[in-house]
Chain A
Amino acid sequence: MNKELTNENKLIEDIKKTFPSSEVSIQREKRVIVKIKQDTVPPLLSYVKDYLDFNHLSHISCVDWIEQKKFELVFILWSYDQQIQIIAKTLINRDEPKFTTINKLWRQAETYEREIHEMYGVEFVGNDRMGDFLLEDWEDIPPMRRDFNTIQFVKENFNDRSAAREDSKNVRETIAKHSGEEIPEFAKKYSTRNIDE
């Protein structure tokens, strides 16, 4: 399928002319990826919003590249006129993650920024609602970071039912004992199985 991506190619030209340092590529039809440096993201977003009619901020997301010690912020924009999605990606420092807020451009960015702050610990300078959002009284490191050990956290904070109940080791035998039934012959080989194993 060779479709002429005229709109996409024109968009790429516009962005490259205005932001020469950016890497722009077409992922597929209706989808353009812009990789750009951290400090040129707000100018890029306001440029595509004001001059190229990308009115809709669909989402802000975050990726944890722990090996490179970077967070990648992903801004997804949609244009109703051109029917094209722009995905703007930028890498920020993982040790001291800070970024400028864009809630002056789109009000709904505030909610996404609060969520990313809670789940990854990225601080958005200029957003004054960087407090608790979904998690209350969270004291550990942010839970969506890849160095957060979920299973260890669960073991420390919540009691497992298999340890708490004495009859969980062998459910079938316990049920049979309670109701006064005998375990049928074919089922006996399963009933000695230990659940912990």
Chain B
Amino acid sequence: MLNDKYSQKIVDIIKNYTRKHSLWVVAYGTGCGAIELPPTMTSRYDAERFGIRGSATPRQADVLLITGYLSTKTLKRVIRTYEQMQAPKYVIGFGSCAINGGMYWDSYNTIKSLDQYLPVDVFISGCMPRPETVISGFIKLQEMITDGKANGAEKYKENLDWYRTNQKQVIKNWKMPDYNW
């Protein structure tokens, strides 16, 4: 690869263009929002025309959808899933529970704001968001990828200590593998 500025820019444009048209989603429904995904994926709303489709494993996926509330027990699994995913990777927080706890604002077992534990690129509001909203959230993510703004994974890498502190505040018994960053 040529090292001058302009050819790197062209490479970035091509890279972002291809990335934004193949967003593979981990099939991991954490809350009640997972019920909105079958109509989003199937023929009526047909998210695959935007390149959005499910992937079998986290290691092949680009997008982690947090669909709704996240209990602390699930958070542990979600962190492991997120850390197994390979870059480029993006997180979409889905529904009001991921934003501020939603109707679980006083629950003893549900985390209140997702972006303290995982780097969220796009939040989709609603309880629950309809498939149109979900697709518009994905299009927002595509725009951010085009502009090079969807850099949640780098933020996570830079501020790993801060995220770890927040995660360990909730997950008391921390027995997790350390991945090679």
Contacts and interface: CB of A to CB of B under 8 A. Distances in A.
Interface residues of A, number: 18
Contacts of B173: 136-137
B171 A137 contact: yes
Given A134-B73, A135-B73, A150-B106, A157 B170 contact: yes
Nearest to A139: B172
Prevailing SS type, chain B contact patch = loop
Interface stretch (A19-27, A109-117, A159-167, A180-188): A159-167
B112 interface: yes
A97 interface: no
B41 to A, nearest CB: 30
A159 B108 contact: no
Contacts of A143: 108-109
A136 B112 CA distance: 18
B96 to A, nearest CB: 11
A161 B99 CA distance: 8
A158 B111 contact: yes
A153 B116 CA distance: 18
Contacts of B113: 159, 161, 164
Could you tell me the dominant secondary structure of chain A's interface residues?
Answer: loop
Given A151-B106, A161-B113, A136 B76 contact: yes
Interface in B104-150: 105-109, 111-113, 116
Contacts, number: 43
Given A137-B173, A159-B116, A161-B101, A153 B72 contact: no
Nearest to B111: A158
B108 A150 contact: yes
B109 A135 contact: yes
B72 A136 contact: yes
B169 interface: yes
A161 B112 contact: yes
A107 to B, nearest CB: 25
A154 interface: yes
Nearest to A149: B108
Taking each of A137, A153, A158, which has the highest tally of chain B beta carbons within 10 Å of its own beta carbon? Answer: A158
A67 to B, nearest CB: 23
- In this complex, the member of B73, B105, B108 whose beta carbon has the largest number of chain A beta carbons within 10 angstroms is B108
A135 B76 CA distance: 12
A143 B71 CA distance: 14
- Among B99, B166, B172, the one with the most A-chain Cβ atoms within 10 Å of its Cβ is B172
Nearest to B104: A154
3 smallest CB-CB distances across A and B, nearest first, come from A137-B173, A161-B100, A137-B172
Interface of A: 134-137, 139, 143, 148, 150-151, 153-154, 157-162, 164
14 contacts: A135-B109, A136-B76, A137-B171, A143-B108, A148-B108, A150-B107, A150-B108, A154-B108, A154-B112, A157-B170, A158-B112, A159-B166, A161-B101, A164-B116
Given A151-B106, A164-B113, 5 more contacts: A136-B73, A150-B108, A157-B170, A158-B112, A159-B113
